[in-house]
Amino acid sequence: MRIHYDARLKDKAIKLRNNQTFAERLLWKHIRGRQLDYQFMRQKPIDKYIVDFYCSKLKLIIEIDGISHHGKQGYDQLREKRLKELGFSVIRLDGYYILNHINESLEVIAERIRTISGVTTP
């Protein structure tokens, strides 16, 4: 499936990849290279947005809410609604939570992956 996006976002996505937050770097360290059995991309343009992490096979988006999201809850809700309308599943994680609870954060992601992929755990 080809994902359409505003081509003007490409340069901004590259800049964001090169200037990740601590929480983004920490999470990326644990999900890159198919460590969760699926490939993720960083700072992926989708539609008119740039998402923090994206797995194309699962149509799964991971968004990290850090200080840049404070006061933007309305915008974030509209953004998430639009992404869901396009058929994506969205996980929102707090950056502070990731920094202090990386294993629990990874379990949230792994559980969503199991749900989407239909894999059940005993």
pLDDT tens digit sequence for 5-40: 666 777 778 888 888 999 999 999 999 989 999 999
**pLDDT of 119 higher than 70:** yes
If you average pLDDT over residues 65-75, what whole number do you get? 69
Confidence of residue 73 (pLDDT cuts 50, 70, 90): confident
pLDDT tens digit sequence for 79-112: 999 999 999 999 999 999 999 999 999 999 999 9
**pLDDT of 121 higher than 90:** no
Q: Give 91-94's long-range contacts (Cβ < 8 A, gap of 24+).
A: 91/60, 91/61, 91/62, 91/63, 92/63, 92/64, 92/65, 93/27, 93/62, 93/63, 93/64, 93/65, 94/64, 94/65, 94/66
Domain ranges of the chain: 9-116
Q: CATH fold of 9-116, please?
A: Endonuclease; Chain A (3.40.960)
pLDDT recorded at residue 69: 53
**pLDDT of 70 higher than 60:** no
